[in-house]
Amino acid sequence: MTLPPIFFCCTILKARYGFDIILLEVLNMDDNKIYDMFEKIYIELTSFKQDMSEFRDETNKRLTKLEIGQEQMNDKVSEAFEAIHTLAETNDRQHEEIMKELRGEINVVEFAVKRLVK
């Protein structure tokens, strides 16, 4: 048994686009019915394409907003690290100055103690 010359399978559309279209066999259908069927499929595909285009556009807008937010966060984090680095350098300098003063005072005390001990 051979298939009639007109055989149409819509399971490809289901697998690729998620449409709920079952396997159709077009047997001895008149041209108007076949045309109507293809017209409905075309309308569904066109609608699906439009929906996907809108979804893509909305997703791109949200992605752009997220990227802008991420850049702003990166800038703020960079500024915070720069401030922390500057503060650490200032603290190191102040620590060195205090240590120099303490060393000088310790030297004076050592000298005084040594003098008193002699």
Residue with tokens 């703020």: 76
Q: What angle do CA 70, 76, 77 make, to 5 degrees?
A: 85
pLDDT band at residue 1 under the 50/70/90 scheme: very low
Tell me: the pLDDT tens digits for 42-60?
A: 888 898 899 999 999 999 9
pTM of the complete model: 0.49
Average pLDDT, the chain: 78
Tell me: the pLDDT tens digits for 22-38?
A: 445 555 567 777 788 78
pLDDT band at residue 67 under the 50/70/90 scheme: very high
